[in-house]
């Protein structure tokens, strides 16, 4: 018998969770989006981003000819065009509302094809003290083609006992757990456990076919994946961005604010990059949090 979801998961105390995740709260005080978030762990807002915000970013992004986008996890550090969309005021304010904490940007995935990362949640990729004070968004930059490998998720799976890094490390050799690329080398273990748990619980897998300007917000504990394209190479033009509570990331870099929108992001100084007309080649120095981000979410 293989490694099960139960082997990899463990609930953490009620009082360390974000307010909307706690067992008992006064739901009469919640707005509709907060109620949906509490129930589903996912929230879709149609045409949430203005067309100009999307078009301006797409025009800039087209300068990068690589389907995979920038090779580093934090190109927003150098490009205001990325901050314009990922730190769009109503977007960040909605996340603050759902998590109940001020949220800061720290990761952007800019590829225009599916990540093809199989089922997992983000919570176990973070330090144990984060406790789901974390949120990510999937922004459709055009109407998404079903053949492109769309984002998929299991509604309500944020209420399952969460995947935990320390539980995973109990199941693998110590030498493997110490490697910086452990998220990649253990991806299959996590994916199989999640897939079997989905079947065991009889849960449905849903597919997000966003229209241009639609935004899907997802919980750090939500089980999700970038599905395989049924027609390889079909573009999936989207922007994925991840955010953490400013109050729950002592391991992160300096907090700073984007002047145009007044919204916060994490700044990492250990960075080297070089840009070329045919694309962008960028390399993170693999020390500190920045290097770990590259390994965790690629």
Q: What is the pLDDT of residues 247-297, one digit of tens each?
A: 999 999 889 999 999 999 999 875 544 443 333 333 333 334 544 554 455
pLDDT < 50: residue spans in the chain: 272-288, 290-291, 294-295, 298
> What residue numbers bound the domain in which 149 lies?
5-297
Q: In 3-state terms, what secondary structure has residue 187?
A: helix
Non-local (6+) Cβ contacts of 93 within 8 A are: none
| CATH code of the domain covering residue 208 | 2.60.120.620
pLDDT at 273: 47
The total domain count for the chain is 1
For the beta carbon of residue 53, count every other beta carbon within 10 angstroms.
17
Q: Which sign, positive or negative, has the C-alpha torsion 282, 53, 107, 142?
A: negative
- What per-residue confidence (pLDDT) applies to 65? 60
Q: What per-residue confidence (pLDDT) applies to 281? A: 34
Residue 17 neighbours by CB under 8 Å, 6+ apart: 131, 132
According to the model, what pLDDT value does residue 51 have?
97
Residue 231: the pLDDT is 97
Identify the pLDDT of residue 187.
Answer: 97
pLDDT number for residue 1: 67
Q: What is the pLDDT of residue 253?
A: 80
Give the C-alpha separation, 4 to 21, whole Å.
Answer: 24
């Amino acid at each position: 018998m293989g490694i099960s979801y139960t082997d990899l998961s463990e609930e953490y105390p009620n009082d360390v969770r974000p307010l909307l995740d706690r067992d008992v709260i006064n739901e009469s005080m919640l707005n509709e989006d907060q109620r949906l978030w509490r129930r589903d762990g996912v929230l879709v807002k149609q045409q949430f981003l203005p067309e100009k915000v999307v078009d301006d970013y797409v025009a800039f992004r087209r300068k990068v000819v690589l389907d995979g986008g920038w090779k580093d996890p934090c190109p927003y550090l150098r490009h205001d065009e990325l901050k314009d969309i990922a730190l769009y005021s109503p977007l960040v304010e909605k996340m603050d509302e759902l998590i109940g904490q001020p949220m800061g940007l720290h990761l952007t995935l800019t590829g225009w094809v599916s990540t093809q990362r199989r089922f997992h949640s983000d919570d176990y990729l973070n330090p144990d003290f984060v406790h789901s004070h974390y949120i990510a968004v999937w922004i459709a930059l055009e109407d998404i083609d079903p053949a492109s490998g769309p984002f998929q998720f299991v509604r309500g799976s944020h209420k399952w006992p969460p995947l935990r890094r320390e539980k995973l490390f109990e199941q693998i050799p110590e030498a493997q757990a110490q490697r910086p690329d452990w998220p990649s080398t253990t991806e299959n273990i996590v994916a199989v456990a999640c897939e079997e748990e989905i079947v065991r619980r009889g849960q449905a897998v849903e597919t997000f076919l966003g229209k241009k300007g639609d935004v899907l917000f997802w919980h750090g504990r939500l089980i999700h994946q970038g599905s395989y394209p049924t027609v390889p190479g079909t573009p999936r033009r989207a922007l994925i961005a991840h955010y953490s509570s400013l109050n729950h990331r002592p391991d992160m870099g300096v907090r700073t604010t984007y002047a145009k929108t007044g919204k916060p992001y994490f700044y990492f100084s250990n960075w080297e990059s070089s840009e070329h007309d045919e694309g962008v080649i960028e390399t993170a120095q693999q020390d500190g949090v920045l290097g770990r981000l590259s390994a965790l979410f690629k």
